[in-house]
Chains A and B, each alone.
Chain A
Amino acid sequence: MKSIMKILLRYVLSAAGIALILLIINFTVLIIWTIQTGEISPKDYSISELAAGLSKSNGIYTLSKSAQETIEKRFQWAMLLNNEGQVVWSKNLPAELPLKFTISDVASFTRWYMNDYPVYTWHHPDGLFVLGEAKGSTWKYPIKVSQKVMENTLLWIPAVLILNSLAAILLALLFGLRLFHSLKPLAKGIEDLAEKRTAELLTTGLLGDIAAGINKASAQLTQQEAALNKRDNARTTWIAGVSHDIRTPLSIVVGYASQLEDDPELTPAKREQAGIIRRQSERIKTLISNLNLASKLEYDMQPLRLDSVALAPLLRSIAVDFLNSELSDSYSIDVSISENTQNILIRGDKELIRRAVSNLIANSIRHNPNGCTIKITLKKELNNCLLAVSDNGTGFRQKTLISLNHPRNSLELPNHGLGLTIVRQISKAHGGSTEFHNLPEGGCTVILCLPIDCTHAGRT
């Protein structure tokens, strides 16, 4: 809507600008034309010159040659009235005109016409020089303007300009509002498209075509979205289905393998082999449950059970769970939680965060079979908390590091397993980010940056 208001404003202003510019151009043209006509006519002829061209010698009037030519070319006739109103000299005088004029006649024709002939008069030493033009050739109107108006010219010209601009703005606003009203549904339609809502606009009116286009685009988007969702759904359902179907056979494998493992009649070597079958089957179980979780997280199908999670106790309990689960003595887990994060709360799914941190610890253990020191640290940075799991083991391979930090396709099956992908997805689902680094002194660190729950600033 904002942009439409901008368009309207610009439209109104430009309309006012156009009106103003037109007005100025017109005025200028008018002024130039007036000056020009004023300048051209005296060059062509001047009634004063013509009047001066009529001279009297020995009682006979003679017209100069140039004056004679001008009169013949431009006018019809000429005459000279003496002060008594009698025609004392004339040239081509039409017969219908009288040879004597009263004062009122003179007053009348100087302002208007003489028997429909437009006439011009000029002072002559012997009286009044009168020039007549052809009938219907010139339109005469004497202009009278009050003195006051002429004196206030500087005031009223700008006033007229301003009034005109105001009128232009008002009109533009009126028409603009009409346009605005017809554009508004279109803008809303486009907004709907952007927000992934369905746009259904009326396709009547001036902009009906555009509305129809928007409707069509909306329908296509909806269709595409549905197709995309369907595909994602199908993929996730497929993975869920496979992981479901694999569970029963796996149960049987684990069941028999465990029985063999505990069978006292078998040799220790055979029992150990059964143990390997069981452990590997459990790995398959972890793998499929990871695959299932990863695909659900990727397509936002894993419901997050959001709650206020106190991170410090959670991290301690995860570490203790690992330490209590017969972890070899070659591994040690240190938990270091800075004082200002002891009571930190985040909004999250406790089980998923537990999963992420457990995955990281398990990863360190798996990749360092000869033992390592695992360090879990929690720090606060602005409105985020930095949860880092580090070890002093072998670290990531350079290639792995790049693909972890810059995943091309988030669900490509990485050769380092899904554990770390899930960590990244869980962090993302909580509005956080994940960084994987190798440490200069050896080993690696994975840092989860999770936003702190600001609604609960912390307990006292």
Chain B
Amino acid sequence: MKNIFDCKLLITDDEPELCKMLSELLHREGFIKIITAPNCQESRQLFASEKPDGVILDVSLPDGDGFSLLREFRAVSAVPVLFLSARDEDENRLLGLGLGADDYITKPFLPRELTLRLCAILNRTYFPAVLKQNAKPVFSLGEIKIDLNSGSITTKKGQLTLTAKEFALLEKLYENRGNIVTGDSLCRAAWGDDLYGYENTLMVHIRRLREKIEPEPSSPCYLLTVRGLGYKLTGIKSK
């Protein structure tokens, strides 16, 4: 298996039109080996004979339910299973995930969401990028280069280091780059608590961070304040 698109996928759903739609969708995405089953019995047979690398499972099936089918699969295999169900009650979702499903998507779903989630699961299962994930991002803000691995900032004038709190704040802002991050989220990232009681502390740390990353800290252009809500990191060039 060279990449996830070599994975063999088993789709089990009693609605043939949906199976067809999913097959086409996944084909278009790049998957080649796709098999479908309309009920538990066929799904069981195909699972045993074809040994799929990924399973998309409906919960309500004509001759049983997806939950017990998953239990059977899990008894013999740890293959990734993704539920695709019309039941959106929390109990069902929790039951499915509790049984060891890798994800639970409710119908109607956005095709893009389904393919992204499926690819993510398959990637994690068959191409675990443990080393890759440990590598933290390196990015630029204008002329400043920031390396989150070392927590260092390289400017024209020289190199600066981030304090632990500044690092936590910048990392959180970077993860949500382009989006507003509430003061509460930032405080949780840095101090493990909501904003209340930390407003001034947060402001102080943001000011220090600006002094390091902004060319003109008093009129910031990368780390922007969203009044009453939080902060936003923009203008990032990834390397």
Contact = CB atoms under 8 A, between A and B. Distances in A.
Interface of A: 244-245, 247-248, 250-256, 258-259, 281-282, 285, 289, 303, 310, 312-313, 316-317, 319-320, 323-324, 334-337, 342-343, 459-460
Contacts of B230: 316, 320
24 contacts: A244-B86, A244-B87, A248-B15, A248-B18, A252-B17, A254-B109, A255-B21, A258-B111, A259-B25, A285-B108, A310-B194, A310-B196, A312-B195, A316-B182, A316-B195, A316-B228, A317-B184, A320-B226, A323-B229, A324-B176, A335-B228, A336-B228, A343-B194, A459-B197
A289 B25 CA distance: 25
B87 A252 contact: no
A247 B182 contact: no
> Which 9 interchain pairs have the tightest Cβ spacing?
A247-B86, A313-B184, A247-B107, A250-B108, A324-B179, A251-B108, A251-B107, A255-B21, A343-B196
Contacts of A334: 227-228
B184 A259 contact: no
Contacts of B106: 247
Given A247-B106, A251-B109, A312 B196 contact: yes
B181 interface: yes
B180 interface: yes
B112 interface: yes
Nearest to B227: A334
Nearest to B182: A316
Most buried by A among B179, B183, B196: B196
B105 to A, nearest CB: 10
Nearest to A319: B229
B111 A259 contact: yes
Interface string B10-25: 0001010110011011
B132 interface: no
A324 B28 CA distance: 30
Contacts of B229: 316, 319-320, 323, 335
B131 interface: no
A282 B194 CA distance: 34
B112 A259 contact: no
A259 B195 contact: no
Interface in B150-191: 176, 179-185
A248 B61 CA distance: 12
B110 interface: yes
Contacts of B180: 320, 323-324
Interface string B223-235: 0001111100000
A259 B108 contact: no
A320 B181 contact: yes
A313 B195 CA distance: 7
A245 B184 contact: no
Given A255-B22, A255-B25, A323-B226, A313 B182 contact: yes
B211 interface: no
Contacts of B15: 248, 252
Contacts of A289: 88
Contacts of B107: 247-248, 250-251
Contacts of A282: 108
